[in-house]
Amino acid sequence: MNIAGNTILITGGGSGIGRALAEALHAKGNQVIIAGRRESVLDEVTAANPGMASMLLDIQDKADIEAFARQAVERFPNLDAVLNNAGIMKPEDIPAAKDPAIAEETIATNLLGPIRLTTALLPYLLKRPRATVLTVSSGLAFVPLALTPTYSATKAAIHSWSIGLREQLKNTSVEVIEIAPPYVQTELMGAERAADPAAMPLADFIAEVMTILETRPDAVEVIVERCKPLRHAEATGTFANIFAALNARHA
């Protein structure tokens, strides 16, 4: 992926990793469009970053995604990249749950949302000389957190889906890049997590991601150093120990 000169759509761009990536890519000279459900939040981000654009999107709504994709390419005919970042992460007590509402919401947001949006945009992206689909998975795709089982499962599915999509698009102009964050200081699971010393500072994560994208333009996975033990746990035979330590820490 070229680090500059793109027109990039970023879902969940109003906060956390999405906003930080949007601002970093905007600073590199890309046309960035952030999308989300909260107009006031999107307006705050675009006001702080002149030239950045925003669009409302309900990533859980199939019909809204289809209409949004059409509007996006009409407004931004040079669109050549989509970063599927929007996601939710909620604790679940499966034995005590009366219905799988959290699981269903998580799957709709984290898995069906990126699949639907990418599918809707692909006919346009395939017409571009060079285009990119970026997915955001997680270190928990490789070593799950029992506290958030459906979140971990959706991220594992996004990892697998990214591999399959990449293979199907290998002879086209569209590349597929997966970004797998470790535990990062954001408010994804509450404001207190944004200051957790056990988590990677957001600024450090973004800096390392941008360095990988700049120095390794052919990378298909963006795995920062802190996430590598999770990514390679199965291969290195450390899965059981890492799984136990991870889940003890977050119990």
What are 250's two structure tokens? Answer: 């977050």
Q: How many CB atoms lie within 10 A of CB 156?
A: 18
pLDDT for 238 equals 98
Residue 78 maps to a domain = yes
Residue 62 maps to a domain = yes
pLDDT for 133 equals 98
Q: Can you give the CATH number for the domain in which 163 is found? A: 3.40.50.720
pLDDT for 47 equals 97
Domain count, the chain: 1
pLDDT for 52 equals 98
Evaluate whether 109 touches 61 at the Cβ level (below 8 Å). Answer: no
What are 63's two structure tokens? Answer: 């019909």
Residue span of the structural domain in which 146 resides: 7-249
Place of tokens 């270190």: 139
Residue 165 maps to a domain = yes
pLDDT for 195 equals 86
Residues labelled as active-site residues? 151
Residue 149 maps to a domain = yes
Evaluate whether 158 touches 114 at the Cβ level (below 8 Å). Answer: yes
Residue 226 maps to a domain = yes
Evaluate whether 182 touches 200 at the Cβ level (below 8 Å). Answer: yes
pLDDT for 102 equals 97
pLDDT for 251 equals 78
Residue 1 maps to a domain = no
What are 175's two structure tokens? Answer: 């590349």
Q: Digits of tens for pLDDT over the chain (251 positions)?
A: 899 999 999 999 999 999 999 999 999 999 999 999 999 999 999 999 999 999 999 999 999 999 999 999 999 999 999 999 999 999 999 999 989 999 999 999 999 999 999 999 999 999 999 999 999 999 999 999 999 999 999 999 999 999 999 999 999 999 999 999 999 999 888 888 888 999 999 999 999 999 999 999 899 999 999 999 999 999 999 999 999 999 999 87
Residue 2 maps to a domain = no
